[in-house]
Amino acid sequence: MTPEELVEAIRAALIAAIEAGDLTVEVPAEIRVERPKAKGHGDWTTNLAMQLAKPAGMKPRDVATAIAARLEQAEGVASVEVAGPGFLNITLEAASAGALARTIVEAGADYGRNDAMAGHVVNLEFISANPTGPLHIGHTRWAALGDSMRRLLAASGADVTAEYYINDAGAQMDNFGASVLARAKGEPTPEGGYPGAYVDDLAATALEQRPDLLELPADEALATARAIGYEAQLADIRSTLEDFGVIFDVWFSERTLHDGGAVEQAITRLREQGHVDDRDGAVWLRTTDFGDDKDRVLVRADGVPTYFAADAAYYLSKKDRGFPEKIYLLGADHHGYVARLKAIAACAGDDPTKNIEIRIGQLVNLDGAKLSKRAGNIVELRDLISWIGSDAVRYSLARYPADSPLSLDGEELRKQTNDNPVFYVQYAHARTFNVARLAAEDGVRREDAFDPGLLSHPTEATLLATLGDFPRVVAHAAELREPHRVARYLETLAGHFHKWYDTCRVRPRSDEEITDTHRTRLWLNDATRQVLANGLDLLGVSAPERM
């Protein structure tokens, strides 16, 4: 019995109690079951009775008793205990619980996928680094978490588009182009320019593509150096992210908003909504009408649009492209953007509590990391991948909430010991492969038998219940935008698997015959492997067969 099937059994028991006149209450749209926190409290527990007590006008334990009397009759349910203030602690029959192993193996990569967010159309924007230098440790956290969120949302049924906003407009790009051109000329970095040996590489690329670069008129030389440097640096960013397992569906250029007239059109549309004022020669958006601490300038008195105007145009672009839900994952220095972006949504006629969501990621400190000689005074993402490995970096970032500051030890992440969480989980996956390989050598084959009632050892009950919880964990992590819930689940699952491995043999001993118990345990082993692989994939981490 899967958790979903148990929920339906609980729903049926509740309906039966209502029809019998024992309860007068509406059946809730959602019923949740969870793993009990304490041993001896059954396989699953629900607080449904406490939720229904007030509308039913009854004590929670009386509601629980009415439901329990029917639920105990459900096929696959061994017992139901009313505990504490009104919890229903449910114990499944061994065969019912064990059947999950086959369900998981047959579902394969689809196990854990759910429809909790079906119908949601989401634009997920993250990283959005300036194309004026390589990605560094400051971008790494949202690179890992943003991609994991994308995977979780998709696994929960959402139609999600991952988008990278290329900040390729404004004075920064002129300073970038001037830096590339200066290096091509053999001159020092101009004031306000970009240092780092990577600019030398871009200058060499510019000279290779345009040998006549230094002979061009000044304005043309600057534009050419800027364009070539921009394309080369953006290609490096794409390549680094691909090495990190991060793929974007859309790369959106800020420059196109200006060149295509989208900024001017956005101001016109916001003016028509009644939220734009002309004051002191400038154009203002009255964001204070929607909770911002001050109104924001869209166009300065000199006629130059602000970055905020581009932000407004970009939001409207997302809306026009058919994204009712827009998620922004921003860096730790962007707290001031929350109120103003929500105000833009409100000024555009959207509901800022539903149509826009803004998450702020805190800083990451990595002990022992060496500054990049190529990039200057930063730690490059590419160097982190080379030093620690993509898997260790991604997993370590995924296992903590994004809103908490994080300090990691690079050398600890490189260790292949059980104290290293990513190694611990990946080793569990590799161990399932080794178990299956050795079992096959002994002649143990899944297809020869499956008797779920044989999975009766306490470690098997614990392992099966944990496997059954995976779809709920995925749905909950997607709903809360918290990939760390998957990482912590995988560590728990790995721990239960290792304990089961130490206690229950899949391979027969030298003096034993192969029995259906061995064959059925192989199903459980392979089910565990599948869930570990599915969970690691949601985090963008590999599931090795050998370690």
Domains defined for the chain, CATH in brackets: 3-92 (3.30.1360.70), 127-259+362-414 (3.40.50.620), 417-538 (1.10.730.10)
Residue 297 β-bridge partners: 284
The Cα 288–Cα 474 span in angstroms is 38
Report pLDDT for 112: 96
Q: How many residues does the chain have?
A: 547
Grouping H, G, I as helix, E, B as strand and the rest as coil, residue 512 is coil
Q: Which of 520, 526, 518 is nearest to 451 (CA)?
A: 520
Report pLDDT for 374: 58
Report pLDDT for 129: 86
pLDDT (tens digit per residue) in 416-465: 888 899 999 999 999 999 999 999 999 999 999 999 999 999 999 999 99
Report pLDDT for 331: 85
pLDDT (tens digit per residue) in 75-120: 999 999 999 999 999 999 888 889 999 999 999 999 999 999 999 9
* CB-based burial label for 204 (10 Å; 0-12, 13-18, 19+): middle
CA distances from residue 490 to 32, 109, 466, 469 in whole angstroms, order as listed: 21, 16, 10, 11
Q: Which of 423, 408, 411 is nearest to 137 (CA)?
A: 408
Query: pTM value?
Result: 0.88
Report pLDDT for 361: 87
Alpha helices in 189-217 (DSSP H): 197-209
Report pLDDT for 372: 55
Are residues 221 and 214 in contact, defined by beta-carbon separation less than 8 angstroms? Answer: yes
The Cα 131–Cα 234 span in angstroms is 6
Which residue ranges in the chain fall short of pLDDT 50?
A: none
In this structure, what token pair is assigned to residue 334?
């962007």
Q: Which DSSP letter does residue 190 get?
A: P
Torsion sign across C-alpha atoms 257, 262, 263, 264: positive
